[in-house]
Chains A and B, each alone.
Chain A
Amino acid sequence: MTEPVISASDLSLTFQTGDGPVHALKDVSLDIAKGDFVSFIGPSGCGKTTFLRCMADLEHPTAGTITVNGVTPEAARKARAYGYVFQAAGLYPWRTIGGNIRLPLEIMGYDKADQSARVKRVLELVDLAGFEKKYPWQLSGGMQQRASIARALAFDADILLMDEPFGALDEIVRDHLNEQLLALWAKTEKTIAFVTHSIPEAVYLSTKIVVMSPRPGRITDVIDSPLPRERPLEIRDTPEFLEIAHRVREGLKAGHSYD
């Protein structure tokens, strides 16, 4: 078996607050293999975003170990091993869409010609060709979020970390973006960790679904999806799909019964 891309063992993170310690994560262990699409699902406070932020070295675990590409998250961050997509697009309003996508490339020192080629390529990838010169506020929310995905794809990171990227969008736009994301994943062969609280979204996208529950934040179930990698939207009406969705729902319920 090949080395996992992301590997966590007995990972814990405790925040000290005025009301005493909050266990955002407790003894979380998980391996993510290369090319996996892993979804993290659970109610608020279950630590799914915290877990993702630990992978990105935006949060520091208080116990346990985690490696990304075989090294510490900090080393992985400094090696620019991952692209991160946040809940909101977070595009800089003083830069055009093209300028926003160019931002990481400028910081990482890509040369000018390469920058332009990459901007063009990823804009096509997320279906935004022709919007390079527009400013973020001139675009719809869905288009802004696609631009922010393009920004994370512009440089050569093998890992894509996505924190509820479509949470603020309506169902139809979301369906469309989910489909596009799967196509992107197939094309780029990246390893994706994806936080969501939508069951259909998690089941539709993932090769592996991680169900989490709060107080303390922990993993209650890991489901390896039997669905094929090629997935039309209609797959959501098949018995296999509904069966996985049911198991996820049961897992979420079980997590809730603790409080």
Chain B
Amino acid sequence: MTGTMARIAWPLGFGILVLILWEAAVRGFDIPPAILPAPTEIWDAIQRSTHILWIDWVQTVVKGALTGLILGAIAGVLAALAIDRVDFLRRGLLPVANFVAALPIVGVAPIMVMWFGFDWQSKAAVVVVMVFFPMLVNTLAGLEATDRMQRDLMRTYSASHAQTLGKLRLPAAMPFIFNGLKIATTLALIGAIVAEYFGSPTKGMGFRISTEVGRLGIDMVWAEIAVSAITGTALYGLVALIERRVTFWHPSQRRG
């Protein structure tokens, strides 16, 4: 128990220290709020605008980022399974996916807005594009992660392709798939927020940040940043938690 407590206490204490120094610096040097608001001012803004922040959060995180993340992750894993099975796809689809991954998000986002409209659907589409490739590549690497003896064993049982996949290669690929998922989680949030810069209804975290910057409502910008940072950390933590459950057997996760 003391181990867990210490693991939480150290970063928490350090974070609080940073906040105190930040507050002291803003007050001591008299920094104008337009440049850097104090943590207490940001906290005020969060309390003042909880309702708006909530609406923005649902719009960007739940509808844009999470929908895109789930769809993109499933698509990435399915594409990896298809590429693994069909050599023609490995030679054809993989380079194309590589190419798509190199497209800049600031180019993709306006196109998706034109295709799927201003609402969250276009944001989810941007997230799908961003998330697809890391999921694909990591799953493919995971499917290759079995050693010859493990595959020979399945061969001596005369196991079918599906049996080898389900009982050996997919379980062995899980640590890799979760690595991809952790990368994808971070990308999804960034993608959903940035995509809103290129057209959105009058809600959403990216929309709010870009308009409040124009109105010099810097405390509100920081409030959105705080919400997105907490959301990102929580999502990452959630994925890590599920990972621990699923890949408990992996040397990096084993305890005792």
Decide: B168 and A92 in contact? CB cutoff 8 A: yes
9 contacts between A and B (CB under 8 A): A58-B152, A77-B155, A77-B158, A86-B149, A87-B149, A106-B167, A107-B154, A108-B157, A137-B251
- Cβ contacts A79-101/B at 8 Å (1 or 0 each): 01011101110101110000000
A56 to B155: give the CA distance in the assembly, Å: 9
Task: Say whether A241 faces chain B, with CB atoms less than 8 Å apart.
Answer: no
Determine the main DSSP class of A at the interface with B: loop
- Cβ contacts B156-199/A at 8 Å (1 or 0 each): 11110001000110010010000000000000000000000000
Task: Say whether B249 faces chain A, with CB atoms less than 8 Å apart.
Answer: yes
With A90-B150, A137-B249: A58-B156 Cβ-Cβ less than 8 Å: yes
Chain B residue with the shortest CB-CB distance to A152: B156
Task: Say whether A78 faces chain B, with CB atoms less than 8 Å apart.
Answer: yes
User: In residues 97-142 of chain A, which contact B (Cβ within 8 Å)?
Assistant: 103-104, 106-108, 135, 137
Decide: B167 and A103 in contact? CB cutoff 8 A: yes
Decide: A77 and B159 in contact? CB cutoff 8 A: no
Chain A residue with the shortest CB-CB distance to B153: A90
- The 6 A-B pairs of least Cβ separation, nearest first, read A93-B249, A94-B249, A84-B156, A90-B149, A107-B159, A107-B157
A-B CB pair tally, cutoff 8 Å: 50
Chain B residue with the shortest CB-CB distance to A104: B157
Determine the main DSSP class of B at the interface with A: helix
A134 to B68: give the CA distance in the assembly, Å: 39
Decide: A94 and B171 in contact? CB cutoff 8 A: yes
Chain A residues, Cβ within 8 Å of B154: 107
Report A150 CB to chain B, min CB distance, Å. Answer: 14
A92 to B170: give the CA distance in the assembly, Å: 12
B-binding residues in A (CB < 8 A): 56-58, 77-78, 80, 82-84, 86-88, 90, 92-94, 103-104, 106-108, 135, 137
Task: Say whether B27 faces chain A, with CB atoms less than 8 Å apart.
Answer: no
Report B107 CB to chain A, min CB distance, Å. Answer: 42
Decide: B156 and A77 in contact? CB cutoff 8 A: yes
Chain A residues, Cβ within 8 Å of B171: 92, 94
A232 to B102: give the CA distance in the assembly, Å: 69
A84 to B159: give the CA distance in the assembly, Å: 14
Report A28 CB to chain B, min CB distance, Å. Answer: 21
Q: Which of B158, B163, B167 contacts A80 (CB 8 A)?
A: B158
Task: Say whether B91 faces chain A, with CB atoms less than 8 Å apart.
Answer: no
A228 to B3: give the CA distance in the assembly, Å: 60
A77 to B163: give the CA distance in the assembly, Å: 16
- Cβ contacts B136-160/A at 8 Å (1 or 0 each): 0000000000000110111111110
Decide: B249 and A135 in contact? CB cutoff 8 A: yes
Report B105 CB to chain A, min CB distance, Å. Answer: 36
Task: Say whether B250 faces chain A, with CB atoms less than 8 Å apart.
Answer: yes
Decide: B156 and A107 in contact? CB cutoff 8 A: no
Chain B residues, Cβ within 8 Å of A135: 249
Chain A residue with the shortest CB-CB distance to B167: A103
A129 to B77: give the CA distance in the assembly, Å: 39
A108 to B157: give the CA distance in the assembly, Å: 8
Most buried by B among A56, A87, A93: A93
